[in-house]
Amino acid sequence: MLNILIGDTKKGDDYLFFSIDTEEMNEEIQDFFQMYDIKRKEKGLVIKGIAHNTLKNLFIKRKIIKMHFVDFPIPSNVSICKNKVALFSWGEKPVGYLIESRQIAEIYTKFFNRVWAMN
């Protein structure tokens, strides 16, 4: 699903995300996404993320990501790229849903940009 999310991107496209926050799995999930960082970097994507302040230490090693941190609730487990939105549920058996919709991607992108501008 994540490969499909960035499949039709080109250098300079935005990859936006609201961080995953599954306390018992956060470090394991970050390790997984560090490998995904390589694919996004190869594509030349501009990667921006928003996470809760309590997760700052998880992003220290991830230098290619521009991060903002907030102290209020945000949706988690959401990635937006071009006209696609990926929703994740990390648990015993991870599940993901990929929505391809220009309108839905625009709504999430506008919300992301508003939260981003607050910091």
Burial 72-84 (b: 16+ CB within 10 A, else e): eeeebbbbbbbeb
Would you list the domain boundaries of the chain? 2-117
Instruction: Give the right CATH number for 2-117 from 3.30.870.10, 3.30.800.10, 2.60.40.10, 1.10.3720.10.
Output: 3.30.870.10
Region 4-29: mean pLDDT is 83
Express each pLDDT in 37-95 by its tens digit: 888 889 999 999 999 998 888 888 788 899 999 999 999 899 999 999 999 887 778 88
Least confident of 6-15, 39-48, 58-67, 102-111: 58-67
Q: What band does 22 get if pLDDT is binned at 50, 70 and 90?
A: low
pTM score over 0.85: yes
